[in-house]
Amino acid sequence: MDDDDRPRPRGDAASLLAAEDLSPYSQDELSERIALLEAEIGRVRAHRDKAAAHRSAADALFGKPTS
């Protein structure tokens, strides 16, 4: 089986980033990295908010599921 055919592990990218040694990076590289990570946080928040709105619309239409 090709690597592309396997399911992607959830949360793996964040775990790899958290474990990476930052000592080789310059001040400018660290600033660029922070900007990229902040942009990614914004993208994830926007996706989360969109999913929450979608869920709320579905709950309103079909009724909230009971546990």
Query: What are the pLDDT digits (tens) for 13-43?
Result: 888 999 999 999 999 999 999 999 999 999 9
Q: Which residues contact 22 (CB under 8 A, 6 or more apart)?
A: 30
What's the confidence (pLDDT) of residue 2? 57
What's the confidence (pLDDT) of residue 34? 97
What's the confidence (pLDDT) of residue 32? 98
What's the confidence (pLDDT) of residue 13? 87
What band does 9 get if pLDDT is binned at 50, 70 and 90? low
Tell me which residue of 58, 18, 21, 24 sits closest to 37, measured CA to CA: 18
